[in-house]
Structure 1
Amino acid sequence: MSILEAVIVAIIEGLTEFLPVSSTGHMIIASSLLGVAENDFTKVFEVSIQLGAILAVVLVYWRKFFQFNNPIFYAKLIAGVVPALLAGLFFNDAIEALLGSELVVAIALLLGGFILLYIDRLFPQPVHSDLLATETTRSELIEADEQLTFKKAFVVGCWQLLAMIPGVSRSASSIIGGMQQKLSRNFAAEFSFFLAVPTMVAATGYSLFLKDWGTEEAKGFELILASQQNIIAFVVGNMVAFVVALLAIRFFISYLKKYGFRIFGIYRIIVGTILIVLYWMGLLG
């Protein structure tokens, strides 16, 4: 993987990690089109540059993450991340098999797009601060972590499991799960960001220090340290992912408050359709 290819993949990661469009799916497609998908370092890189995106979330919500006088907040995060940790532990091989399929990504993007088109109708909420939803009034919505129960946090974490299918989107599945549990659209997105930190830290740590990659069964950090180019790609990739994710988070929250999910549904349908056509023509995969 060249530095330019690393920057391209990192920009895609930063843009899509916290948007409901699937960062994993987009990176799989990008790596395939760039011709580096089968490289072991590329696979490690796609997971490890999540570190940059994680730091972006921590920076934006630093007051929340460093409120050590509120251990209940951390306990609720643990409750929400437990389902993903258990699923990753027991179904890692099955998940990896799906990660190599561009067709799975394309279909998941397409189907997920139709869901996002109608999600605001399924869970109607205000899109402007001065409007009330038709069925769920603002007083009934959960808008802060103090109102969130451990049970609801765990249920949202279970919804997050859908994102183990590449193309589904961790952000989309956890936000939809949050709205299904009566979280406001805004807080559902924020809690999705909060959940991302321990989830992605666990996934990155596993890929760097525990998982054996390739025929040589090298650890992820060993592949990164294998050459100066890999080290530079790793460092530059995380820096790019951090900056782009920082901008994406701020944009997403602002946009979501005003307009909801429809535009992301349309985007997914267009991209998913194009990818299926490319796959059918033999130009992808």
Structure 2
Amino acid sequence: MDLPQYLVALILGIIEGLTEFLPVSSTGHLIIFGDLLNFNDEVGKVFEIVIQFGAILAVCWDYRQRLTDVALGITRYASARRFVTLLFVGFLPAAVLGLLFHSKIKALLFNPLTVATALIVGGLVILYLEKRNHRPRIHAIDDMRWTDALKVGFAQALAMIPGTSRSGATIMGGLIFGLSRKTAAEFSFFLAIPTMFAATVLDLYKNRALLHLHDFPMFAIGFVAAFLSAMWAVRGFIRFVSNHTFIAFAWYRIAFGLFVLATWYFGWVQWTAA
């Protein structure tokens, strides 16, 4: 599908912002739609890094008061140091495993068919977990122990498989380990900040030769679209999970994954496959 470059940037930016913090896999959506829109070359991969950074900043902006309080109080308040410790501990598994395996996983699994399969499997896992009797013992991030953060961090590491969903893995992991729905979602948002900042800086450094001034307008459009749509999505998601289950997201994942597999099986779309 050949669309004007700036329109493609706008579409992918909105998709990134809407899906980054929902349990539906933003990376999976970008791989699928990037392939569909013929924007899956090396420049397209750098573009994805840039718009993911826009989505991160949206969370930083939404939670700027909490982050500012932590930054200013880290030398004075034990609660601020404890919050930073939780994020650091939760960040470690993805950081270590990402350095060891991310390149291999990216080379082997970053294609639409893998994503579709992971979307379906992840949706089935969510349906299974939602059938369990969820009795949270942790109703605020401040009530978490470092062991809780570590467990959620290992759950987050599963998202290295495209289509799994970083937010989905951390939120579902949080529910399994006793966090309330809202606490699991908020900790997932905060944990995304160091995780995605580190991944963004590392990927930009590795792909610095592909950064060119003439691509700036396209990158800027995607960045702003991702920032604004992510800010809207985060606020709506917190309101939603306070009173609803994640079953709707599970069925969406399954339906979308089956649709992509059907288009491949019947030859409707010539997907890129590893």
Secondary structure, aligned partner of 2:29: helix
CA distance in 1, matches of 2:230, 2:51: 11
Matched, 1:202 2:202: no
CA distance in 2, matches of 1:279, 1:115: 24
Aligned to 1:16: 19
Secondary structure, aligned partner of 1:66: helix
* Contact kept? 1:123, 1:180, Cα under 8 Å: no
Matching of residues 133-144 of structure 1 within 5 Å = 136=135, 141-144=137-140
Question: Residue by residue, what CA displacement relative to the aligned partner does 1:20-77 show, whole Å, maximum 9, x if unpaired?
Answer: 000000000001000121x111011112211111111111111221223112211110
* Contact kept? 2:102, 2:160, Cα under 8 Å: no
CA distance in 1, matches of 2:133, 2:36: 37
Matched, 1:55 2:51: no
CA distance in 1, matches of 2:145, 2:178: 11
1:83 maps to which of 61, 74, 93: 93
CA distance in 2, matches of 1:103, 1:165: 12
State percent identity of aligned pairs.
43
Matched, 1:106 2:93: no
Question: Residue by residue, what CA displacement relative to the aligned partner does 1:220-279 show, whole Å, maximum 9, x if unpaired?
Answer: 3x423x242x11111121111010000000111111112210111111111010001112
Q: Which runs of 5+ in 2 are unaligned?
A: 74-79
| Offset at residue 145 of structure 1 (A) | 2.1
Q: Which runs of 5+ in 1 are unaligned?
A: 125-135, 212-218
CA distance in 2, matches of 1:45, 1:265: 28
2:155 maps to which of 156, 159, 162: 159
Return 9-18 or 113-122, whichever deviates more.
Answer: 113-122
Aligned to 1:184: 180
* Contact kept? 1:15, 1:248, Cα under 8 Å: yes
| Offset at residue 93 of structure 1 (A) | 2.2
Higher-helix-fraction structure: 2
CA gap of 1:233–1:120, structure 2 versus 1, over 3 A, is same
Query: Aligned-pair RMSD on alpha carbons?
Result: 1.4
Secondary structure, aligned partner of 2:143: coil
| Offset at residue 80 of structure 1 (A) | 0.4
Aligned to 2:260: 275
| Offset at residue 97 of structure 1 (A) | 1.7
The letter of the residue matching 1:78 is: F
Question: Residue by residue, what CA displacement relative to the aligned partner does 1:181-240 show, whole Å, maximum 9, x if unpaired?
Answer: 11101000000000000000001000111x1xxxxxxx33x423x242x11111121111
CA distance in 1, matches of 2:30, 2:200: 15
The letter of the residue matching 1:236 is: I
TM-score by length of 2: 0.91
Aligned to 2:76: none
| Offset at residue 99 of structure 1 (A) | 4.4
CA distance in 1, matches of 2:91, 2:50: 19
